[in-house]
Amino acid sequence: MKDEKKKISFADLILIDLCWILFSLPVVTAGISSIAAIYVLNKKFDGKECSIWNSFTKTFKTTWKQGLVLWFVTLIIAFFAYLVFNYFKNDFAPSTILMLLSILAFIVFTGVIVLSFPMAAHYENNAAFHLRNSLLLSFRFAKKVIVLDVVFAILCVILTVSFLNKKILLVPEILILPLVFFYIQSSVSRKLFATIDKENAEALAKQQAQNEEAQESDDSNE
Three-state SS string over 112-148 comes to: HHHHHHHHHHHCCCCHHHHHHHHHHHHHHCHHHHHHH
Separation of alpha carbons 143 and 207, rounded Å: 31
8 A C-beta contact, residue 12 and residue 44: yes
Mean pLDDT of 91-102: 72
pLDDT band at 68 (very low <50, low <70, confident <90, very high): very high
pLDDT over threshold 70, residue 77: yes
Measured between its terminal Cα atoms, the distance across the chain in Å is 48
Helix or strand or coil: residue 153?
helix
Helix or strand or coil: residue 9?
coil
Among 197, 113, 104, which residue's Cα sits nearest to residue 148? 113
Report the range of poorest mean pLDDT among 8-22, 30-44, 63-77, 97-111: 97-111
- With a pLDDT cut of 90, the percent of the chain lying above it is 23
* Helix, strand, coil in percent for the chain, rounding step 5: 85, 0, 15
pLDDT over threshold 50, residue 4: no
Note the pTM of the prediction, 2 decimals: 0.83
- Kindly report the backbone phi and psi dihedral angles of residue 93, in degrees, each rounded to the nearest multiple of 5, phi listed first: -140, 70
Please count the residues of the chain: 222
